[in-house]
Chain A
Amino acid sequence: MSSPPPDDAEVTRPLPRPDASPPPDPETTVALPRPDEPPAASDPQDDPQATRPLPRPEAPAADPSPADSSPADNVADVEPVRPWPHAEEPGHPPADQAGDRTGEKAADDAPAEQAVSRAHDAPVSQAAGPAEHLAAADPAEHPAAADPAEHPAAAKHFERATDTAGDEQPDAKPARPRPSVSIDLLADLFRNPLDPGYEAAARRRAERGEPPAWARRGGRAVRTVALVLVGFLLVVAYQQVVASEPQTTQARDDLAKEVADRRAEADGLAKDAERLRGDVNRRRDEALAADPELARLRDLEARAGLTRMTGDGAMVKLSPAAAKRDPVTGQTAEEDPGRVLDRDLQEIVNALWQLHAEAIAINGQRLTATSTIRSAGGAILVDFRPVTPPYEVSAIGPDDLDKKMSSSATGRKFQRFASLYGMQFEVRAREGLVLPAGADPGLRYATPPPQPSPSAPVSPSTSPSGGR
């Protein structure tokens, strides 16, 4: 919050005139113009405060608080308006320390000083930030302002300033120019967080004395109303935030809950269907007990993925590499070759089919002849149900399925991927794999085409041509 390094300020601001002399060293320029010499005042139009008469040191103290508390903190932030009597002291303290220093000084030094700092805080600031002040108000920037004839207002202001200063402190210096208006807006903001209006009001009060009692009472009432409004506003805003937060999170929660509900419902229905299917199968088995077709039917059912299957086989485990993070930004890389794609799963599944696997499931989801493996966004969907890594492809098939898989082209390819990109890929033999039944493909019924003429013979295909 306190003074920016003066060097920076000087570097960033171009001098208005190339032939102007370079800015003098801060230490040397602290030697201010003598009282009989006009100050380098900034344009009064730019800077109304510069022309404002300063409070006389003997003016009543605007603040009843002890002198060492009020100047101490202003030091860093209040615009320098007027020289501090000790401005020529070498070794100006940094703004923050200056507070303490001036505080001590006010306590044990000349009483005149105390009066000055009580009357107005502004003078103190000169002690604090001469360096920054100099950096900002480069004399080279106001070469013309030095001429009192050109700026009568400035000269007049100067006279008043010297009057007051000269009365009390013979060694006091005339008012320094205020920092140029061209100063960086942000730097100004950082230096003066306080509304300058407060300062102006205090100065007005110091000039004209305290306002009448009725005005003070009115002011207090208005202030109270404003404070009540502030408190009210805070509460209202807080309640608004609290009230609006559930709306956003609630919508999400509702949706998530609905998804979970529907999924549970679907699972329940699937279980129902499975039970009924088992029922049907049992009855059919009873009915066809003597029929040699039964064995063939069962075999076909197993291959179509319509029944639960148990058996030995292999399990292929595939998981993506840990996402690479940028060490600086912590962001994951856009291109992630170690990701498992739907294509990878498709390839593995097809390789397993090719090696005479009889039944395959991905993460417990049985694949049938019509299953799909695709990606939607970052997720992989098997039959429109998301599966998450690690992907476990279980296959029931010949005894050496795992070895064949490992040595197949696909297996070798994924082993290379694993070593290159850090994916995990392993093929293991498994015994007693249990694969659930696949999704019911649903029965499809043929419908007769619209009859062109009533004389056409009735098509025999109206009967259900079952999917089983």
Chain B
Amino acid sequence: MAAVLALAAGVVLGLLFPPTVPVLLQPYLPIAVVAALDALFGGIRAKLDGIFDDKQFVVSFVSNVLVAAFIVYLGDQLGVGGQLSTGVVVVLGVRIFGNVAAIRRHLFRA
């Protein structure tokens, strides 16, 4: 419950104080969101599995976002552009999908 409230608080915060994202950081935002979603769903699933761990969640969130951003940056620098980010999206997408499937099985037993 507290987690949902915290999430909602973050949303409200973002709505109340919409920050101006520096142009330099803009390309990293979408991939950071995907990484954050991966951490989020991983956390939810771990919670449902009963093995949730605060440290693990925070570390996975921070590292996911940073690594995803770094890969996008690397792709830009290497000139392969979106292809590296495609890799990130695929990997994270697969994980999100798997975790959501597990959550679904928890919740609906189907």
Residues on A lying within 8 angstroms of B by beta carbon are: 1, 62-65, 69-70, 72-74, 76-77, 96, 99-100, 121, 186, 189-190, 192-195, 197-202, 205, 216, 219-220, 222-237, 239-241, 244
Q: How far is the CB of B3 from chain A (nearest CB, A)?
A: 5
List, in ascending order, chain B residues with CB within 8 A of A69's CB.
48, 106
A-B contact pairs, 7 of them (CB 8 A): A64-B50, A65-B50, A73-B102, A73-B105, A226-B57, A228-B10, A230-B40
Would you call A231 and B58 a contact (CB within 8 A)?
A: no
Q: Chain A interface mostly helix, strand, loop or mixed?
A: helix
Does B51 touch A at the CB level, under 8 Å?
yes
Q: How far is the CB of B96 from chain A (nearest CB, A)?
A: 8
List, in ascending order, chain B residues with CB within 8 A of A233's CB.
10, 14, 29, 32-33, 36, 65
Does B15 touch A at the CB level, under 8 Å?
yes
Q: How far is the CB of B110 from chain A (nearest CB, A)?
A: 9
Given contacts A73-B49, A197-B56, A231-B12, 6 further A-B contacts (CB under 8 A): A121-B50, A189-B94, A195-B42, A198-B49, A219-B55, A236-B14
List, in ascending order, chain B residues with CB within 8 A of A63's CB.
49-51
List, in ascending order, chain B residues with CB within 8 A of A232's CB.
10-11, 13-14
Residues on B lying within 8 angstroms of A by beta carbon are: 2-3, 6-15, 18-19, 21, 26, 29-30, 32-33, 36, 39-40, 42, 45-46, 48-62, 65, 91, 94-99, 101-102, 105-106, 109
Would you call A234 and B33 a contact (CB within 8 A)?
A: yes
Would you call B14 and A198 a contact (CB within 8 A)?
A: no
Would you call A227 and B105 a contact (CB within 8 A)?
A: no
Would you call B109 and A72 a contact (CB within 8 A)?
A: yes
Closest to A103 in B: B109
- Asked if A77 meets B98 with Cβ closer than 8 Å, knowing A222-B58, A231-B6, the reply is yes
A77 to B32, CA, bound (A): 25
List, in ascending order, chain A residues with CB within 8 A of B53's CB.
197-198, 201-202, 205, 219
List, in ascending order, chain A residues with CB within 8 A of B62's CB.
226
- Residue among B49, B65, B95 with the highest chain A CB neighbour number at 10 A: B49
List, in ascending order, chain B residues with CB within 8 A of A73's CB.
48-49, 102, 105-106
A1 to B98, CA, bound (A): 6
Would you call A70 and B99 a contact (CB within 8 A)?
A: no
Closest to A205 in B: B53
Would you call B33 and A194 a contact (CB within 8 A)?
A: no
Would you call A121 and B19 a contact (CB within 8 A)?
A: no
List, in ascending order, chain A residues with CB within 8 A of B3's CB.
223-224, 227
A241 to B91, CA, bound (A): 23
Would you call A121 and B49 a contact (CB within 8 A)?
A: yes
List, in ascending order, chain A residues with CB within 8 A of B8's CB.
231
A236 to B109, CA, bound (A): 34
Would you call B102 and A194 a contact (CB within 8 A)?
A: yes
List, in ascending order, chain B residues with CB within 8 A of A72's CB.
105-106, 109
- Asked if A194 meets B39 with Cβ closer than 8 Å, knowing A223-B57, A229-B10, A232-B14, the reply is no
Closest to A191 in B: B98
- Residue among B7, B62, B94 with the highest chain A CB neighbour number at 10 A: B7
A450 to B52, CA, bound (A): 92
Q: How far is the CB of B13 from chain A (nearest CB, A)?
A: 5
- Determine which of B29, B39, B59, B109 lies in contact with A230 in the assembled complex, contact meaning CB atoms within 8 Å: B39
List, in ascending order, chain A residues with CB within 8 A of B36's CB.
229-230, 233-234
A3 to B14, CA, bound (A): 41
A121 to B18, CA, bound (A): 43
- Determine which of B18, B54, B58 lies in contact with A239 in the assembled complex, contact meaning CB atoms within 8 Å: B18
- Determine which of B45, B50, B109 lies in contact with A100 in the assembled complex, contact meaning CB atoms within 8 Å: B109
- Determine which of B10, B46, B91, B98 lies in contact with A227 in the assembled complex, contact meaning CB atoms within 8 Å: B10
Would you call B60 and A236 a contact (CB within 8 A)?
A: no
Q: How far is the CB of A363 from chain B (nearest CB, A)?
A: 42
- Asked if A198 meets B52 with Cβ closer than 8 Å, knowing A226-B62, A230-B39, A236-B21, the reply is yes
List, in ascending order, chain A residues with CB within 8 A of B54's CB.
216, 219-220, 222-223
Would you call B99 and A194 a contact (CB within 8 A)?
A: yes
Closest to B13 in A: A232
- Asked if A237 meets B56 with Cβ closer than 8 Å, knowing A189-B91, A201-B51, A231-B10, the reply is no
A240 to B52, CA, bound (A): 32
- Asked if A198 meets B46 with Cβ closer than 8 Å, knowing A73-B106, A224-B6, A230-B39, the reply is yes
Would you call B32 and A193 a contact (CB within 8 A)?
A: no
Q: How far is the CB of B66 from chain A (nearest CB, A)?
A: 12
Closest to B91 in A: A189
Would you call B9 and A240 a contact (CB within 8 A)?
A: no
In order of increasing CB-CB distance, the 10 nearest A-B pairs are A231-B10, A63-B50, A193-B98, A235-B14, A219-B54, A202-B51, A201-B53, A227-B6, A228-B10, A232-B10
